[in-house]
Structure 1
Amino acid sequence: MLRAAACAVAGAALWRPQPARAEVIDLNDAINQAGRQRMLSQRMAKAWLALAQGVEAANARQVLDRSVALFERQLGDLRAYAPNAELRTTYAQLEAAWAGYRAALLAPPAPAAAPALLQADARVLALAHQGTVQYESAQARPVGHLVNLAGRQRMLSQRMAKFYLAAALPEGGATAQAEIAQARGEFLQAMQTLRGAPQATQRIQDELQIADGQWVFFEAALRRIQPGGTPGAKPLSDVFVASENLLSVMDRVTGLYAALKA
């Protein structure tokens, strides 16, 4: 059912970025790309955890390889575009943190290495978020916040999926469930804000309605985790696919907000 809905709505099982540009074009675009770095930090961990457990192996390998390449390209673009010293410092720190995370991601995936990988991904996520907020401050217009907020939804979709996969590892269940619950609440609250924003065009509203439909499938997959237990292979696969579908829609929403000039 998840795959059929994905084909009908998103047209592909894996999210793919828009055609690559050589540089950041404006501050809205910078917020979009900076926020995408947050998402990629979680998406790469999700893919790595899937590979470590033999879940969606071909898709997970493709997701990991493409995400690593995109993260590196955007990191260089965002650091080059940085309009102030504060942002340049953040992206220098992010580049250093990325080196360690990248090495962990490219090592052979194994459950025993998951705790160290998740620590590295948390550091990269924190710095990528810091850079996004700083770019939003540099933009200093209401639409910048909406680009940031919509972009953060992409990250939350991948974060929930990552922790669902982490729950299948020894001693990962309790922490994972708490993280999923927090991210779920933040996601739903942000959807209300995005729907109610005066800047939301009809096209944005239409995409948000599609996102609501994808959320139904994603949340149904997430709820198959059992307190005190671990999910089987089928639920893990369903969450992986559903998170990709939701990501695809929210990336379009973020791009539409980024294209607004008001």
Structure 2
Amino acid sequence: MKRFRYTCRTMIRNTLLAFSLVGALCLTPAVAQSVTTAAPISGFEAASRLRAMPQRLSKLYLQTRLNVDRETSQLRLEEGIRQFDTMLAQLQRNRLEGSARRNLERLEGQWADMRNTLRQPPSDALSQRLGSEAEQLALGAQRLTLQLESPDESSANRLAELALRNDMLAQRLARLYMQLKAGVNTTSHYVDMEQTRKEFLTTLRELGSAPQSAGSASRNLELVRQQWSFFEQAVMERNWDERAVRNVATTSERISQVMNELAQSYRRAPGA
């Protein structure tokens, strides 16, 4: 009987995983992280969106090196570079001043360096460098986000910011995993992976307990939980076979899409 229940659970889990991965694989590069917008947005929102992009771009670069859906990863990488340029342009339109302006200028310089790295053929040295560049850019975008947050920012907008931060955490975890797969192996990687995993779960619980997390937000949160269960297992087991690496690539993209949709649903809420 125990063997029967185990078999049933395994069959159900594998079926759910198959459906989730099919959905992720069907994403086009533009849909995988639809954050590009032609309409002006606040500096706070633009800075919030920037945080995840360096982590995701370095992950995609590593995937091209590892031949993980190489063509799709390359297309998404090119689209992601254009999206980062777009978000920087949005920030420039906000005409920031003082320390916020200086932080933006520093961010622009760091992006120029990383952009150049992303255009070069993959190598061991660049795989190591990209992790550091992604961290610096994400930290810079976080500092700018905190500077641009208004004291009277609505609770819905703060939830949107948390959703976008969780996108960054998922992309960071996937990037660390891909770096380990590529041979960049240090003790700090394992510490960073565990810390990132815990922060993601803490924020996910906070989002789930918020009164605004109803309707479409509730549905998106459930989608994130489903994708996260597959993603977390593949990442934390550190299984390096082709299927596991592909699962990390596809579920991290799906999480990114849903987190961005979740942020938009909060921003559309009354009073946001």
Specify the alignment match of 2:267 in structure 1.
258
User: Superposition pairs for residues 186-197 of structure 1, below 5 Å?
Assistant: 186-197=199-210
Identity %: 25
Aligned residues: 255
* Separation (CA, whole Å) in 1 of partners of 2:78 and 2:122: 13
Given candidates 226, 229, 234, the residue that maps to 2:243 is 234
Select the residue among 218, 222, 241 that pairs with 2:235. Answer: 222
How far is 1:113 from its partner?
2.0
Q: Letter of the aligned partner of 1:135 in structure 2? A: L
Change (3 A) 1:91 1:243: same
Any unmatched runs of 5+ in structure 2? 1-13
- Aligned pair in 2 of structure 1 residues 3, 99: CA closer, same or farther (>3 Å)? farther
CA gap of 1:221–1:58, structure 2 versus 1, over 3 A, is same
> Which stretch shows the higher mean deviation, 60-69 or 231-240?
231-240
Report how far residue 154 of structure 1 moved: 0.7
Aligned twin of 1:113: 126
**Post-superposition shift, 1:252?**
0.6
Instruction: Provide the rounded CA distance (Å) in 2 between the counterparts of 1:214 and 1:13.
Output: 18
Aligned pair 1:70/2:87, yes or no? Answer: no
CA RMSD of aligned residues (A): 2.3
Does 1:247 pair with 2:256?
A: yes
**Are the aligned partners of 1:32 and 1:258 in contact in 2 as well (CA < 8 Å)?**
no
1:180 corresponds to 2:209:
no
Partner of 1:4 in structure 2? 19
**Pick aligned residue for 1:204 from 217, 229, 246:** 217
Give the TM-score normalised by structure 2.
0.85
In 2: Cα distance, 1:245 partner to 1:62 partner: 16
Please give the secondary structure, in 2, of the residue aligned with 1:223. Answer: helix
Tell me: CA distance 1:20–1:222, structure 2 relative to 1, closer, same or farther (3 Å): closer
Amino acid at match of 1:243: S
Q: Does 1:96 align with 2:94?
A: no
Residue type of the partner of 1:233? E
| Pairs within 5 Å for 1:159-178 | 159-172=172-185, 174-178=187-191
After TM superposition, which residue ranges in structure 1, 4 or more long, deviate above 6 angstroms?
none
Q: CA deviation at 1:185?
A: 0.4
- Contact 1:147-1:258 at 8 Å conserved across structures: yes
Q: What is the aligned partner in structure 1 of residue 3 from structure 2?
A: none
Q: TM-score under structure 1 normalisation? A: 0.88
Q: Which runs of 5+ in 1 are unaligned?
A: none
2:142 aligns with: 129
After superposition, residues 120-159 of structure 1 pair within 5 angstroms as 120-137=133-150, 140-159=153-172
